[in-house]
Structures are given as structure tokens and as C-alpha cells.
Amino acid sequence: MPTASSNESTVTHADLLQGLAQLGLESADTVLVHSSMKSFDHVDGGPDTVIDALLEALGPRGCLVMPTLTMGAAENPVVYDVRQSPSNAGLITEVFRQRPEALRSRHPLSSGAAMGQAADELTRYHLDTPADLLSPYGQVYLRGGWCLFLGAPWNSNTMFHVAEELVQAPYLSFAQFHNAQVIDTDSQEHVVTFRRYNCYQSGVIRDLDAMAPHYEKAGIVRHEGIGASSCRLIRARDIVDVSTDLLRRNPEQILSYETTG
């Protein structure tokens, strides 16, 4: 494990627990975590310390959820191994999904992993679109959970996609994949049909950072620094409520369009 340089701040397990408590995270909460390991400068013990602190803060009745996306993986053919396919949603998520207790959903491109109470229910039914109500992200919303951003930007906000799917935003489009291969935790192979978003591929760019002032204006964001990391905690239902309101009134606020020629 690299040591901290003289210019870096070092975060300990105790620092993380204190920061999470100051944000308002409590035992028995369900929380979806978006994270940037680099934002902390240096954590004593690395990603495992962050994960351990989160699990301790939530306690045995809580549930810790992280996106373990494989976006960018080959799409022809699509092959997804629940145990082996790496997460590209950050180092903490990659370490998290490899824990023996972690359960991971079977969506080939937009999987999520969970540990704790109800982890099986949160991950078992994620088989169609990236963020429908059966996905881990939709389940966090339905269960009254939280979204925690550990130094991660708003453009990583998976909960916004739950709002998009609930509203069926007018710009939203999907690509459907047939005959995708999913290898489950028991090494059983399944052939599935699933969908991913097709907005970017259609020239529609969503700027999720543009939602930040709307969340802040609504007064629903809690802020706390943990070491060098700027952290935010926000109720999943508040993200969805504010986002669906904007998507119904003026979805163009978050869009730009690429042109070719």
C-alpha cells in the first residue's frame, strides 16, 4: 500500500466514521454510494477501510449498495460474469464487489452490488433496463434509502436515471441486446435479453452536473468534508422528486446534442 506524501492528508477509519455520522448516516440505513478514492488523497488501509467504515456505520440491519458498471465492455457478443467482470465505477466499487459477502446483480452492463440486509432482494431482479424499479438503484429509492457521494461528481448520479425511467423522459432511448451471455455465481450460463441506454449513441448528451443547482436550491443536500474529500448525502426520493419535476417541465435544461457532418 503506498504511503502518504507530506502534502497529502491521511484519512483513518475513525475519520470516516465521524464524517459519516456528521452527514447523518445512521444504523439500519440503505445507502447507494458513488465514490472517488482519489478524492481522499490517502486512506490508511485503502479502499477496504472505506468499505469497513460504511458497513460499521450502517450496522447489521443496514444495506450498502454500489454501482459495479461494466459499461464499455464488448457488446458483440455480450458476455458478463457476475464474479469476474470488473467494475469500472471506481476502485472502491471494484474492491467491494470482490468481497465474498457481496451480491451482484445480473444486468450485463449496469450491475450493482450490495451487502447487508435485503442485499439479495436488491440485486436479484435486475435483468432489463439499467435503472428500473427492480434494479438495485430503484430498490434504494423504493426503500427510502440515501445516496452518498464520497468525492464523486454529480455526473455519477445513478439515481437520476431512476427518475428518467419513471418519467420516460422524451429523449430517452434504449438499445436492446439479444443472446447475451450471463455467468452467475454458481458458474451457470444464461442467455438473456436486456436493454441499455442509447442516448449518447443517438447524439443526445445528458449533463447530470446541471442538476446540482436544483438539488441545492431545494435544500436537500448535506455536505461534509472527510479529509480532502467533499462528500454529500441526499435522500434518494429527494433526488427522484426534484429530477422528475424538472424532466416533466423542461428536460432540455440538462441536454445538449452532438451533430455530425
Residue 260 has pLDDT above 70, yes or no: no
Q: Which of 169, 141, 152, 148 is closest to 241 using CA atoms?
A: 141
Mean pLDDT of 38-62: 97
Q: Which residues pair with 232 in a beta bridge?
A: 149, 223
pTM for the model: 0.94
Burial tier of 81 (Cβ tally within 10 Å: 0-12, 13-18, 19+): middle
pLDDT at 174: 96
Judged by DSSP in three states, 146 sits in: strand
Structural domain includes residue 49? yes
Helices then strands (H, E): number in the chain? 8, 14
The count of domains in the chain is 1
- Mean residue pLDDT across the chain: 94
Structural domain includes residue 187? no
Structural domain includes residue 172? no
Confidence of residue 73 (pLDDT cuts 50, 70, 90): confident
Confidence of residue 7 (pLDDT cuts 50, 70, 90): low
Structural domain includes residue 77? no
Confidence of residue 177 (pLDDT cuts 50, 70, 90): very high
Structural domain includes residue 175? no
Mean pLDDT of 29-40: 98
Confidence of residue 71 (pLDDT cuts 50, 70, 90): confident
The 10s digit of each residue's pLDDT in 178-229 is 999 999 999 999 999 999 999 988 899 999 999 999 999 999 999 999 999 9
Structural domain includes residue 139? yes
Structural domain includes residue 47? yes
Rounded distance between C-alpha atoms, residue 104 and residue 245, angstroms:
31
Rounded distance between C-alpha atoms, residue 95 and residue 92, angstroms:
5
Contact 31, 51 (CB under 8 A): no
Which residue range forms the structural domain that includes residue 97? 10-71+85-167+208-257
Structural domain includes residue 78? no
The 10s digit of each residue's pLDDT in 124-176 is 999 999 999 999 999 999 999 999 999 999 999 999 999 999 999 999 999 99
Q: What is the dihedral of CA 73, 76, 82, 87, to 10 degrees?
A: 0
Rounded distance between C-alpha atoms, residue 107 and residue 81, angstroms:
10
pLDDT at 104: 98
